[in-house]
Amino acid sequence: MATTAAPARPTIHPTYEPGKSGVWAWLTTVDHKRIGMLYLMTALSFFVVGGIEAVIIRIQLQAPNQHVVSAEFYNQLFTMHGTTMIFLVIMPLSAAFFNFLIPLQIGARDVAFPRLNAFSYWVYLFGGLFITLPIFFQVAPNGGWFGYAPLTTRPYSPGINIDFWVMGLQILGISSLAAAFNFITTIINLRAPGMTLMRMPMFTWMSFVVQFLLILAFPVITIALVFLLFDRFFGTQFYEVAAGADPLLWQHLFWIFGHPEVYILVLPAFGLVSEVLPTYSRKPLFGYPVMVYSGILIGVLGFGVWAHHMFAVGMGAIADSFFALATMLIGIPTGVKIFNWMATMAQGSIRFTTSMKFAIGLVALFTIGGISGVMHSSPPADLQQTDSYFIVAHFHYVLFGGSIMGIFAGIYHYVPKMTGRLMDEKLGNWHFWLTFIGMNLTFFPMHFAGMLGMPRRIYTYDSGQGWDTFNLMSSIGSYILVVASVIFFHNFFRSRKRGEIAGPNPWHAGTLEWSLPSPVPEYNFATVPTVTSRYPLWEGSEVDLESARINSQEGKTAADLGIILPYPTIKPLIVAAGIIVMFTGLITTKVLVFLGAAIIVGSLYSWLLSPLEPEHH
């Protein structure tokens, strides 16, 4: 019964009490859903910036010997394209879903630390601006997203460019770490009665794994960056080759972070797809326990394969063999996921909504990225592939074909829950097909360019090298992706005002978040649900359905229900601003360092002494 649609409603009932809709309300919000939407909007804005950077790169490489942009600016563009898409787009898009979905999926009223959650967002926003703005003045970071020392040390990069990168990543790391601890605490402590770990929706599970990857991987990059920061500002010699440093120190540290980072980027998308595929196949996820274990296994193995990024540096035969075999092992749980997704669809009743198409797109395209991944798990073969366009093709199939496709599937699936309105399916169809075609046209030819000898990160190439056609194809593909993205943004903003009213469960999904009104009231659950099944709305007992019935009622305010909500507060934003001021001081005047520190200490003190919420009576 719960799988039938609620009839479309004429209006959206107010979810927020009057006076909570202005700019100030957004600046001071501690509501996980609003913070999730802030993440979403900010990350989509950075997606535009990173996309423009990519298109300029493709314009430059469309034909041989072009000089649309200078070598120096090109190097800034590819550095910032990678940095932006990884740290400012895919990670925060995932964070948007962590924020919005995890409490709803586990039956909680908010995350464990609502103010820390707001703090994470503001640090991300300010850190993102800090690292992005220099490109508009042509002083952006230019050492690649991997920032290999010694190129990034002061003697070889004397300018301010790398400073923005080192400090920007450091700032963004604060945001990710704070958020990760918050979500781990939330998932462990705030699950509704009956929501055992093995009943958690797969998205929450994959997010759970990702938070552990974050807290284990980010300290490593933090250390690596602290070394570099100290080298650049205070004269230490961790990476100073003139003082005898071994450049492999940076590479090992960076990739011990960098490889788990790949799974940080892709596991949330896997989680989203694991929600989308069962919904539109009308079948539970096939092999749920194996999906959980394979996700954990991918996360664990992900820490033991970092040096496969370094097969060319000369580690010796033993290390090469070890990291080759470990890398191949990761193919097994990843393959299992793909098989289980297909088994979920098999025997189902598949409805090809836009969301479903993007999810199937992930299965189809990530498979290609996985196969090419196995191809360079073999070190001798990798020596022809690494640092060529073959690698560029590979990781775009993983990150675009995997992460981005999965996130789009999630956006089409969950925007109705966020805003109460559906996105248009016809425009969505155009968006999907243009993305699918454009994506393959852009990235598939890069396999060939790479195996035909084209190195990565070159700002131009000579004619007569046999690469012209492939580059032209890639450039045309990227222009198609621009058109696709324009359609997406049009659809996205159009739906806010003119989209069809969604109702609580427009897709007849089975998990807890679909028992709530759309948009979700500020307090989430009028009554904390009791859970007896993985899909309470599909196969739940009377208890599940009773909580769903109560929770789907609209129009009640928190005050009506006697639910106590945390106070809104501006203090997390001020602390975040203090961090930015402090780092800015390092590249301008040292006074700002002390000013920033004073802001941090003062506002933290005030934050920690002010109560989270009104006293309970």
User: Is there binding between residue 381 and another protein (CB under 8 A)?
Assistant: yes
Q: How far is the CB of 209 from another protein (least distance, A)?
A: 19
User: Is there binding between residue 5 and another protein (CB under 8 A)?
Assistant: no
Tell me if residue 386 is catalytic: no
Please report, as residue ranges, which positions from 87 to 146 form the binding site for another protein (by CB under 8 A).
144
Please report, as residue ranges, which positions from 147 to 166 form the binding site for another protein (by CB under 8 A).
148, 150-151, 155-156, 158
Tell me if residue 382 is catalytic: no
Q: Given the complex with another protein, which of 11 and 347 has the nearer CB atom?
A: 347
Region for residue 551 given its phi and psi (left: phi exceeds 0; alpha: psi -120 to 50; beta: otherwise): alpha
Among 15, 186, 281, 435, binds another protein (CB under 8 A): 281
Helix (H, G, I), strand (E, B) or coil at 388: strand
Among 283, 308, 396, 413, binds another protein (CB under 8 A): 283
Please report, as residue ranges, which positions from 383 to 422 form the binding site for another protein (by CB under 8 A).
383-384, 386-388
Please report, as residue ranges, which positions from 179 to 208 form the binding site for another protein (by CB under 8 A).
none
Distance separating alpha carbons of residues 566 and 149, to the nearest angstrom = 46
Among 63, 452, 570, 577, binds another protein (CB under 8 A): 452
Distance separating alpha carbons of residues 287 and 278, to the nearest angstrom = 12
Beta partners for residue 455, in sequence order: 388
Q: How far is the CB of 537 from another protein (least distance, A)?
A: 13
Q: What are phi and psi of 388, to 5 degrees?
A: -115, 175
Distance separating alpha carbons of residues 374 and 368, to the nearest angstrom = 10
User: Is there binding between residue 62 and another protein (CB under 8 A)?
Assistant: no
Residue 322 CB partners (closer than 8 Å, separation 6+): none
User: Is there binding between residue 539 and another protein (CB under 8 A)?
Assistant: yes
First and final C-alpha spacing in the chain: 38
Interface stretch with another protein, choices 97-105, 413-421, 449-457, 553-561 (CB under 8 A): 449-457
| Helical axes 389-398 vs 248-281, angle rounded to 10° | 40
Per annotation, catalytic residue among 175, 386, 419, 511: 175
Joined together, the tokens standing for residue 93 give 């898009």
Cα 205 to chain centroid distance, Å, stands at 15
Tell me if residue 378 is catalytic: no
C-alpha atoms less than 13 angstroms from C-alpha of 225 in its C-beta half-sphere = 23
Residue type for 202, please?
Answer: M
Q: Given the complex with another protein, which of 193 and 453 has the nearer CB atom?
A: 453
Residue 44 CB partners (closer than 8 Å, separation 6+): 93, 489, 492
Per annotation, catalytic residue among 28, 157, 334, 355: 334
Interface stretch with another protein, choices 94-102, 254-262, 366-374, 574-582 (CB under 8 A): 366-374
Tell me if residue 309 is catalytic: yes
Q: Given the complex with another protein, which of 193 and 455 has the nearer CB atom?
A: 455
Tell me if residue 274 is catalytic: yes
Task: With beta carbons less than 8 A apart as the criterion, state whether 153 and 119 touch.
Answer: no
In the block, residue with structure tokens 């980027």:
265
Helix (H, G, I), strand (E, B) or coil at 548: helix
Please report, as residue ranges, which positions from 227 to 266 form the binding site for another protein (by CB under 8 A).
240-248
User: Is there binding between residue 375 and another protein (CB under 8 A)?
Assistant: yes
Among 198, 351, 605, 614, binds another protein (CB under 8 A): 351
Per annotation, catalytic residue among 32, 33, 81, 396: 81
Task: With beta carbons less than 8 A apart as the criterion, state whether 299 and 217 touch.
Answer: no
Tell me if residue 560 is catalytic: no
Per annotation, catalytic residue among 122, 263, 459, 523: 263
Query: Catalytic residues, which ones?
Result: 81, 110, 145, 175-176, 259, 261, 263, 274, 308-309, 334, 337, 456
